[in-house]
Structure 1
């Protein structure tokens, strides 16, 4: 089993070995994000720039040389994540994000069917390639529309988000609770992951609209978490389930991901903040397990996949896992009293944002810390931004007046 020893906090020789403060690492992160990453993804990372400011949406991915890889498809989830990214950036005052958000929104609507459904993939030019309705994708559509609505301001995006939620509830609900992974149903194991992102989306929509009705589905999803996803004896979060929400047989039934544990920690904190429901006990249990078994003491990186007993299934460390760990740790310890968040953020800057084209990232490290990647996925920007946002808010608590990010 993994060691329970926490990682040693990073120290700064310039300050006589004092721990690196959140403000310092936030400032480094902000400079990389606003001066290097966002400008690259707003140009090289967008398609059809010459025509009409991302007229063909976001690139699916880049090569390791930092140029568009141009696969013959574009996934809806990637377009939605980039719509969120540029909407968020524009709301922080990064003006170039406005035109990119508008362009991606227009392109993304090509996946929207007359019946209210959304297609899973498009061709590079925007024709429907796979019309399957995927719950994971739909969750990100709602999430992105909630954020775009704060930027766009007409109410159109919020209305489209509500329409999408209504379509999900009408067509994808199951008698056993929760929703199908996709429609048509592929018969695969039920998954908690798309439900987690659907909760994230509903909470974001409620923040945008402040209409109590937009919070209703969040209560349903929280009950699903408490009754089926969360296992209180071990303090773990299951990933794969049978039709009646029992853990599947074999190794997949023991499969747990520290990154999703930390992601739920943040979500439970947000749900508590917005709905007033006490979520402290499951949040603490999830954070405890993920920190105890997922965090590597020697490096401060977080492992990808464990068993419910804490043993390692995959010892590598995806970028997104580090970002979600940063969010979850700061949700539990806003002052970063143990220095774990500063270590995680510094790891992102030093291990994942270097050794690659400027403004991009290494998406996967193996257990020894070596890159194991063949492309630069656009979709990781969503995790990077949400991690930075939490880091920025925590740093703001330590410094008044608040920091703008630019």
Structure 2
């Protein structure tokens, strides 16, 4: 059964007979997500027999025609993201998500190593293809388990998530703070990105369990942002670091991504909401840089890669960057007083969710706004859902009646 959304109380939030912009774009986004995207990814986007879809997890990616590409591997991060997607959808009342989440969870368990870590990739049938423990992938496993635990309810998923975080802290921690990118370590530059998603995972786990102990890692990762990742002079978020957490030499040390700035802005808001720790100062610095230099005034799109002085290093605009900008902007300005979030959402609907098979997306536009894609990546659904969730919350708050003062 497809989810039928309840009517929105637009009569309480209209201007001259028209719904508020946040509400109007939320309604368009909701229709696309629940009536087109989720049904597509629950069928074509799941692998297995017609009677047991998700028996073999989620498809890795699709062709531009919207057909399964069937590469000889499945990344664990993709399976984890889709486990989150269907768990979230099921918790919203979209019933098809329940069976898909259960199926992907069972398939994902093939990646759980005997020592408590998780493999990086599986074959299409579920055998381990690459047993490397990848911090980025593991962060998404924990994140997905936290959300699946809210759906499944037995406590098994939460315990597995907590045990996984313990394994990471025991086996992947480094003397200078933070964690290895992967194990075995190949000496590559340290990266902030997997740490960001590890914080997201820790916050999601606490949101499920409400156990204070599950926030311990979140506190550590917040300090890592303040003392290592965030440049105190430029207010920029570094991507690549030496072992002692200095920016690497050359272009990689100057490489900054507005999408990650906005992602951290949202995370800092969530961290403050859950812990009471004041994060406004770093959040403001990150948001200011990303908005000033990353946002294209003419198109309303957000650029992919800049340097620390704001110069454009890569002028295209990935879909995920727009989604993270949407929720980052709304975390700072819930009412969208400047209309930036509405424009970002409209861009997604009008330029990324069109010109492709119904329910799918164009994952990247080049600097001129033309599609620059060779496939439809399954992994983008995670960013789409988190962006919608932030938009939905803002729209609901916009329509919340204001009680008179007594």
Per-residue deviation at 1:113?
A: 1.1
Alignment of 1:7-406 (within 5 A): 21-400=21-400
Q: Deviations over 1:168-227 (max 9, x none)?
A: 001000001100000000211000000000000000000000000000000000011000
Per-residue deviation at 1:53?
A: 3.2
For the residue of structure 1 that corresponds to 2:50, the secondary structure is: helix
Question: Under a length normalisation based on structure 2, what TM-score does the superposition of the two structures give?
Answer: 0.94
The alignment yields a C-alpha RMSD, in angstroms, of: 1.5
Structure 1 contact 80–108 (Cα < 8 Å) conserved: yes
Extract structure 1 runs of 4+ deviating beyond 6 A.
none
d(CA) in 2 for partners of 1:197, 1:66: 29
Q: Deviations over 1:5-32 (max 9, x none)?
A: xxxxxxxxxx89x997100000000000
Per-residue deviation at 1:233?
A: 1.2
Q: Deviations over 1:1-60 (max 9, x none)?
A: xxxxxxxxxxxxxx89x9971000000000000000000000000001435231000000
For the residue of structure 1 that corresponds to 2:36, the secondary structure is: helix
Structure 1 contact 20–342 (Cα < 8 Å) conserved: no
d(CA) in 1 for partners of 2:20, 2:309: 33
Per-residue deviation at 1:80?
A: 0.1
Q: Deviations over 1:234-285 (max 9, x none)?
A: 1100000000000000010000000000000000000000111100001001
Q: Deviations over 1:66-102 (max 9, x none)?
A: 0000000000000000000000000000000000000
Q: Deviations over 1:299-327 (max 9, x none)?
A: 00000000000000001000000000000
d(CA) in 1 for partners of 2:204, 2:31: 26
Structure 1 contact 19–339 (Cα < 8 Å) conserved: no
d(CA) in 2 for partners of 1:53, 1:91: 19
Per-residue deviation at 1:228?
A: 0.3
Structure 1 contact 232–282 (Cα < 8 Å) conserved: no
Per-residue deviation at 1:117?
A: 1.0
d(CA) in 2 for partners of 1:109, 1:202: 20
d(CA) in 2 for partners of 1:252, 1:53: 42
Structure 1 contact 47–54 (Cα < 8 Å) conserved: yes
Q: Which runs of no fewer than 5 residues in structure 1 stay unpaired?
A: 1-14, 402-406
d(CA) in 2 for partners of 1:230, 1:187: 22
d(CA) in 2 for partners of 1:144, 1:27: 26
Considering Cα pairs closer than 8 Å and 6+ residues apart, tell me whether 1 or 2 has the greater RCO: 1
Q: Deviations over 1:138-172 (max 9, x none)?
A: 00000000000000000000000011001100100
d(CA) in 2 for partners of 1:360, 1:268: 30
For the residue of structure 2 that corresponds to 1:256, the secondary structure is: coil
d(CA) in 2 for partners of 1:302, 1:319: 9
- In the comparison of the two structures, how many residue pairs are matched? 388
Question: Under a length normalisation based on structure 1, what TM-score does the superposition of the two structures give?
Answer: 0.94
Aligned to 2:4: none
Per-residue deviation at 1:400?
A: 3.5
Q: Which runs of no fewer than 5 residues in structure 2 stay unpaired?
A: 1-14, 402-406
